[in-house]
Amino acid sequence: MEKVFLPVVGDKVLIFELEDVKKLRHLGIVGVLSGTLSAAPQQNVFLGLPLQLSLEDVIWLVTNEHGILIDSAKYHEVEAAMLNQADWNSSQRICVHDPKQDEELLKKLAKMNLSDDKLILKKKQLQENKVENFIIIPNVTPLPNIDSYTIPLDKFLSLSNHHELISNYQVYRSVKDQGFFILPGIRFGGKYIGYPNDPLRYHAHFIINQATDFKLIDLVAGGRLATGVKKVWVIVGEHSTPDSPKKVEGKKRDAVEVDVDQTEPQPDIVDQLTKESKLKSFSIEWAGFG
Amino acid sequence: MTLIKKVKENLIHYNLWKSVQEHDSKVLSGFPPSKLIIDDEDNQEEWVVPKLMTDKDFSIEEIESWFVQIEKISTKRPARITIGLVNDDATIVYYFIHDGIVKPRQN
């Protein structure tokens, strides 16, 4: 299968192409729909495209060679530079500014009985917000010169702050590689929630946590909550023998500017993410007696 | 009374388990009056590890060591163990710890 384009917008990967969402789903990557309607952004019960992927999803896709990170802004620059007259003339891809809309807005303004000052201000705003002609560029067509707009994984990871990413990702990978689907776990008070298959067809089975630094009260609280919602509370962690070296956690980084070129890559983070790890997992639930 | 005795007495007299035995003063085995999970075998032997709620020393290594220890006693690594958590207000609660990632039970 061709690698899925993972467009980086700001410090997030946002998938705008429905076909790519389908491809990812077949790979067991669900993501979270995050788009609202531009006309009603407060409507957030039913969200749509773009699909936002978690850092762990992105790392899994890239290191397993299912996806390739692309700098969305640069990609669009490259594509725009390649457009020829035929593209400009193709009505499917070009949205032309409609002057009639401006006239209607001006008419509405005139009816509002605004003071002169306000009217001038409103007209100025209208002028500033005017949408010029623009082109719809698909996010998926591979263009020549691919190196000019791809982003290596370490650069992408240096764009955002993350906490315990390496150990979290090892937990994520060990669960995912057993065939489970994974979503963010905050809804059930965990790090991840695990599904036996596609979440549209199955209820979640597991509330997954990293097994570092947890107390007995966490086991009771987590186990009791999980059992109450017909799930199990899973802990996953490294089972180190006494003489095995302490693993090195990735350096925490301060938030950096989004400009990709100005950030220095973390040289060894990808190695740390992909190194083999033997993790133990245990599933906890209330015993139902006592 | 020692920690293991508290859990043992609770299993015998409150939860009506039979043939409750201590092993190495750390682990208990016994037979509950009825199956704990529908899919269990009849008369399945259960393994209980007592633990104080206030015990701060708790890790995945320790859980693994219980499985290893019980495997030595019974010659078979159990699919699950039960942890008996003793609180300082005389409450004892029991939680299953299954080996690996298992589906939640249906009953």
Residue B47 and residue B70 in contact, taking contact as beta carbons nearer than 8 Å = yes
Q: State mean pLDDT over B17-44.
A: 95
Domain check: are A119 and A1 in the same one? no
Point out the residue among B84, B92, B95 whose CB comes nearest to the CB of A219.
B95
Identify the structural domains of chain B with CATH numbers, from first to last: 3-98 (3.40.1350.10)
Domain check: are A186 and A281 in the same one? yes
Domain check: are A191 and A280 in the same one? yes
**Quick count: other Cβ atoms within 10 Å of Cβ B19?**
9
Domain check: are A105 and A20 in the same one? no
Dihedral-angle region of residue A101 (phi above 0 means left; psi in -120 to 50 means alpha; beta otherwise): alpha
Does any domain span residue A22?
yes
pLDDT for A245 equals 45
pLDDT for A248 equals 42
Last residue of some domain: A116, A151, A186? A151
Determine the residue of chain B that is closest to A224 in CA distance. Answer: B95
pLDDT for A38 equals 76
ipTM above 0.90, yes or no: yes
Distances in whole angstroms, Cα of residue A191 to Cα of each of A164, A169, A182, A249, A269: 12, 11, 10, 18, 21
Structure tokens given for A242 = 């006494």
pLDDT for A249 equals 43
Structure tokens given for B96 = 């299953």
Residue A29 and residue A57 in contact, taking contact as beta carbons nearer than 8 Å = yes
Cα(A280)–Cα(A96) distance, integer angstroms: 58
Q: How many domains does chain A have?
A: 3
pLDDT for A132 equals 60
pLDDT for A185 equals 93
pLDDT for A138 equals 62
Range of the domain at A37: 1-83+140-151
Residues 6+ apart with CB under 8 A from A259: none
Q: CB distance B14–A214 less than 8 Å? A: no
Residues 6+ apart with CB under 8 A from A196: A180, A181, A202, A205, B103
The distance of A218 to chain B (nearest Cα, Å) reads: 11
Residue B59 has pLDDT above 80, yes or no: yes
Domain check: are A168 and A285 in the same one? yes
B90 touches chain A (CB under 8 A): no
Structure tokens given for A83 = 């457009």
Does any domain span residue A157?
no
pLDDT for A59 equals 97
Question: Which of B97, B99, B105, B106 would best serve as a mutation to test chain A binding (most A beta carbons within 10 A)?
Answer: B97
Domain check: are A192 and A272 in the same one? yes
Question: Which of B15, B68, B96 would best serve as a mutation to test chain A binding (most A beta carbons within 10 A)?
Answer: B96
pLDDT in tens, chain A (290 residues): 789 999 999 999 999 999 999 999 999 999 999 998 877 878 888 899 999 999 999 999 999 999 999 999 898 888 777 776 666 666 455 566 677 777 887 888 888 877 888 888 877 877 776 656 666 666 566 677 788 899 999 999 999 998 899 999 999 999 999 999 999 999 888 999 999 999 999 998 999 999 887 899 999 999 999 999 999 999 999 876 554 444 444 444 444 444 445 555 555 899 999 998 889 999 999 999 98
Q: CB distance B94–A290 less than 8 Å? A: yes
The CATH code of the domain that includes A172 is 3.40.1350.10
- Which residue would you say has higher pLDDT here, B43 or A81? B43
> Mean pLDDT over all residues of chain B?
95
CA angle A213, A216, A218 (to 5 degrees): 70
